[in-house]
């Protein structure tokens, strides 16, 4: 069982690394082929867990499996694969019966999938800003500089309130973000690293994004005007900006 887990873990980690390599160099056909092969390979492992999730959510695994005949774009393949992983992760967390069914696999799988939320270590940063301007700092996923109103995502219903130019603040993003993707100017999350959902989505849509900031949302009021300097990995209040 441990040998099988190690193989699966390596394939999953490689798939997300391959996604990042392709997203950073979309003109490299070799990177694209490697990414597709990696996704298909790990999806075969993931598919063994399909019986443990609702039937209507199993389609994400099936779409990845048949991506070629369906004519899926690379963007849709990436986002569908990440959705399949998300659904399995969510089910493991919420359904104790699944944990019982998986037995020894359950804690191993949970630890592995939790890597999508781990906060990566950051070097100390001297940015020279006034302390009262500073909100938080994290890991740059997509660079860029944007100004906008803070929209804190506390529940699924909040996605329906996203106004054009909003800077999204979330513990972690969920697939519901796609409903508002065209309105979003920037994304900042408390959790996550380079393989988290927010990172994958931000790279795919070119949205300035900083992840893994730790707890900061409680100190930001809804609607506060913010500046996201994603290239530097920092979030600031915009009131003192020139």
> Between vectors from CA 136 to CA 144 and to CA 170, what angle results, nearest 5°?
80
C-alpha closest to that of 12 among 138, 115, 90: 115
Residues 79 and 201: beta-carbon distance below 8 Å:
yes
3-class DSSP state of 54: coil
- For the chain, what are the domain ranges? 2-117, 134-237
Q: What is the pLDDT along the chain (242 residues), one digit of tens a residue?
A: 455 778 888 999 999 999 999 999 999 999 999 999 999 999 998 888 888 888 999 999 999 999 999 999 999 999 999 999 999 888 877 766 666 777 767 777 778 888 888 887 765 555 544 555 899 999 999 999 999 999 999 998 999 999 999 999 999 999 999 999 999 999 999 999 999 999 999 999 999 999 999 999 999 999 999 999 999 999 999 864 43
**Cα Rg of the chain (Å, integer):** 19
Residues 72 and 43: beta-carbon distance below 8 Å:
no
* Token pair 């393989």: residue: 195
- The strands making up 139-142's β-sheet, listed across from edge to edge, are 134-137, 234-237, 225-229, 145-153, 166-170, 184-189, 209-211, 139-142
CATH 2.102.10.10 is the classification of domain 134-237: no
């Amino acid at each position: 069982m441990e040998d099988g887990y190690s193989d699966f873990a390596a394939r999953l980690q490689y798939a997300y690394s391959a996604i990042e390599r392709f997203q950073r160099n979309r003109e490299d056909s070799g990177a694209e082929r490697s990414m597709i092969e990696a996704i298909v390979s790990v999806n075969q492992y993931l598919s063994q867990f399909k019986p443990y999730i609702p039937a209507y959510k199993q389609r994400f695994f099936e779409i990845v499996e048949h991506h070629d005949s369906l004519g899926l774009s690379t963007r849709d393949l990436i986002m569908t694969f990440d959705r399949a992983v998300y659904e399995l992760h969510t089910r493991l967390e919420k359904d104790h019966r699944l944990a019982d069914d998986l037995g020894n696999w359950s804690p191993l799988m949970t630890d592995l999938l939790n890597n999508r939320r781990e906060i990566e270590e950051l070097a100390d940063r001297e940015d020279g800003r006034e302390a009262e301007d500073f909100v938080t700092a994290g890991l740059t996923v997509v660079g860029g500089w944007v100004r906008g109103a803070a929209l804190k995502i506390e529940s699924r219903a909040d996605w329906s309130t996203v106004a054009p130019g909003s800077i999204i603040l979330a513990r972690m993003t969920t697939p519901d973000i796609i409903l508002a993707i065209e309105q979003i100017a920037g994304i900042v999350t408390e959790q996550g690293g380079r393989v988290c959902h927010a990172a994958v989505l931000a790279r795919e849509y070119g949205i300035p994004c900083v992840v893994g900031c730790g707890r900061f949302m409680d100190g930001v009021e809804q609607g506060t005007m913010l500046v996201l300097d994603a290239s530097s990995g920092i979030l600031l209040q915009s009131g003192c900006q020139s």
